[in-house]
Amino acid sequence: MGRLPFKILICASICLLLCKDGMTQGDNKIDTLTLTDNTLVRGQIENLYEVITHDGNISKREFKIDTGWGKRINIPLSEVKYLKAFGTTFEQVELNTGAHQMLEIVSAGKVSLYFWRKITLVPGAPVVNAYNDKGFKPAGNTITNAEGETWMILAKDKWYDVTAAFIKKKFSELFGDCPKLVEESKSKDFNYKAIGKIVKEYNGCF
């Protein structure tokens, strides 16, 4: 075969580099923000851990996101409706106090279950973006003086913090209209800590 023209070789080389770079980009973490006007923004959030776990004034928080090729933009958390990162979806919700927070959606239905990982920062301590496919874990130095994990349910337009004792006490009020689940709860082996299973079975009643 004869030699390929020089221009074709150059074009082929550029194509290979772009394809390789595209594959690398595809292997990286891609986050998706759904804004309140339903606009989708895709990229890599640089301060995910800080924004998601922080418990405070939503007006002072914003996502710093790299949308590709070094183009970085800031998006106020108040403009975000949903966030998807590492296959986990978060929703901005308004709690009983009127405060807004991004909570992980676990199960949605007549009763919805959410999970909230939150931190209280040591004054002046740096925040490390350390949310990955294994969950929220601070990387490097300890950066908090308090870390908490809270299950929350939304039922009848009201938010509740979830503990086994609370579920046992409020079981009839929250889940009493599901006969099958009520019957199961009469068993001495019924596990009130299994809130995920309880909510999923309850929503399956309707």
Compute the distance between CA of residue 164 and CA of residue 150 in angstroms, rounded to an integer.
12
Q: pLDDT tens across 155-205, in order?
A: 989 999 999 999 999 999 999 999 999 999 999 999 999 999 999 999 999
Residues 101 and 92: beta-carbon distance below 8 Å: yes
Q: pLDDT tens across 19-28, in order?
A: 333 323 334 5
Half-sphere exposure of 49 (CA within 13 A, CB side): 20
pLDDT on residue 5: 53
Tell me what the mean pLDDT of segment 114-123 comes to.
70
Q: pLDDT tens across 131-158, in order?
A: 444 455 544 444 444 566 789 999 989 9
User: Which pair of structure tokens corresponds to residue 23?
Assistant: 């594959």
In this prediction the pTM is 0.72
Q: pLDDT tens across 72-101, in order?
A: 999 999 999 999 988 889 999 998 988 888
